Amino acid sequence: MDEAVQRRRFLGLTAAAAALGLTATVSGCGVLGGESGDVTLRLVAADYDLTGGDTTKKYWADLVTAFEAKHPGVKVEVQIESWDDVDRKVAEMVKADEAPDVAQIGAYADYAAAGELYAADEVLSIPVQANFLPPLAAAGETKRTQYGLPFVASTRPLFYNKALFEKAGAEAPTTWDELAAAAEKLKDEGVTTPFALPLGPEEAQAEALMWLLSGGGGWTDASDHYAVDSEANVRTFDWLKKNLVGKGLTGPVAPGKLNRKAAFAAFASGEVGMLNGHPSLVKEAEKKGVEVGQVPLPGVDGKAKTSMGVADWIMGFKQNGHRKEIGEFLNFVFSDENVLKFAGDNDLLPVTVSASAIMETDPEHANLREFLKGLPDAQLPPVGKTSWATVSENVKQNIGKAVTPSGRPSEVLGTIGRAATTAENAE
């Protein structure tokens, strides 16, 4: 959806966005199949069905059927795993020298750094690789080479409960001060949690990044080095502590103890006035009778100049040597038809320029337009750094301390920042 990239359609990775899961076990390696020259690819994918159904399995089964019909010498076996298990299981497979040919999981950087993945230009056609949205392609790079192929994406606008806002006489905010003023009106009206600020260990690294970006900072600086305790970041957390948390506008649970899942559930139940939203929450809230308003994340002086993007990844492993067949499969996965099908069915965003342009004008996906608007200029967490897993975990466990009554944002961010620089230097 980046205007700088020509909108065009390409045949490619089919529905590559999310739930790689056919049905197979993984054992051995090398060429499989009944006839000489046949190759069987093993794919491990994450399950995106939030209801416990089989929509992810069906998606991949249909995709594989269509792919195999066009590539009679290649079979694909799919193993679907829950998000709780998929990253761990792939790591165990790689460690046991039983790597899948293709994996659709949450992170790629460690495998790229270890030389275990094909680079994008080794498996994708030029049109398919050029069709990725630029922020997502950039986030898939380790040491300036793309190894992570974005599968599906999302961004985070501000959600607000329209009924609670109307009752309180509040306006949808465009600045931090307007957000705080709206939260005050909601509190006066008896709303339990005027603004939900989930800085608990579930997803604090993402929640914090949304605020850092809207305050002109981020986890890294312009040279891609960690800048956790930059002046802009400290100012952001000083503001949060003083103007939201300190004034009792973030509800009865301390932000450092509040996880995103609980905040989302409370919003869907009508107990929260505002929070930074996710596509999956829209339908869940509306199912429970909450009419959701969406606006871009507020910034210091107006709409935040940069929004946060998130992507899940698909990648090809070198171990079994099936570069040609992996490339054929991934190019098929990224066709407009497949990308749109997976993203649309799961209320997520397509990762390609051409599919995003189609979704923007599709009335069926009008509820995703606010998310789509933020994607061309989105900034993703520094997922290409092998140190990010360690730094992210440190953030999850400690960032909430910055807004406690006794917490000092400069000290908390400084401690996290020094550890981040140490981890980065060890990469």
Length of the chain (residues): 427
**Residue 132 near residue 341, CB atoms below 8 Å:** no
* Residues 277 and 318 reside in one and the same domain: no
pLDDT (mean) for 102-117 = 96
How high is the pLDDT of residue 376? 86
> Do 323 and 421 reside in the same domain of the chain?
no
- The pLDDT confidence band at residue 305, using thresholds 50, 70 and 90, is confident
N-to-C CA span, the chain: 33
Is position 69 within any domain?
A: yes
pLDDT in tens, 374-400: 898 899 999 999 999 999 999 999 999
**pLDDT tens digits along 274-293:** 999 988 899 889 999 999 99
CA distances from residue 412 to 261, 399, 402 in whole angstroms, order as listed: 24, 7, 6
Phi, then psi, of 160 in degrees rounded to 5: -140, 150
Confidence of residue 35 (pLDDT cuts 50, 70, 90): very low
Confidence of residue 213 (pLDDT cuts 50, 70, 90): very high
Hey, which bits of 246-404 come out as E strands? 272-276, 292-295, 309-316
Number of domains in the chain: 2
Give yes or no: residues 276 and 204 share one domain: yes
Taking the C-alpha atoms of residue 44 and residue 99, their distance in angstroms, rounded to an integer, is: 10
Q: How many CB atoms lie within 10 A of CB 40?
A: 18
* 3-state SS assignment for residue 401: helix
Alpha-carbon span 195 to 186, nearest angstrom: 9
* Domain range for 221: 158-306+387-425
* Residues 218 and 196 occupy one common structural domain: yes
Residue 69 burial (CB < 10 Å; 0-12/13-18/19+)?
exposed
CATH number (domain holding residue 58): 3.40.190.10
Alpha carbon distance 347, 335 (integer Å): 18
**One domain for residues 44 and 136:** yes
Integer CA distances (angstroms), 79 to 44, 57, 87, 319, in order: 5, 9, 13, 18
186-211 pLDDT, tens digit each: 999 999 999 999 999 999 999 999 99
Do 221 and 75 sit in the same domain of this protein?
A: no
Query: In the predicted model, is pLDDT for residue 183 greater than 70?
Result: yes
357 lies in some domain = yes
pLDDT of residue 84: 84
Q: Which residue has the higher pLDDT, 370 or 213?
A: 213
- Residues 46 and 137 occupy one common structural domain: yes
Instruction: Encode pLDDT of 336-373 as tens digits.
Output: 999 999 999 998 999 999 999 999 999 998 889 889 98
Task: Tell me if 259 is assigned to some domain.
Answer: yes
Would residue 10 count as lying in a domain? Answer: no
Instruction: Give the pLDDT confidence score for residue 37 in this predicted structure.
Output: 54
Q: Please indicate, yes or no, whether residues 329 and 282 belong to a single structural domain of this protein.
A: no
**pLDDT of 256 strictly over 70:** yes
* Mean pLDDT computed over every residue of the chain: 90
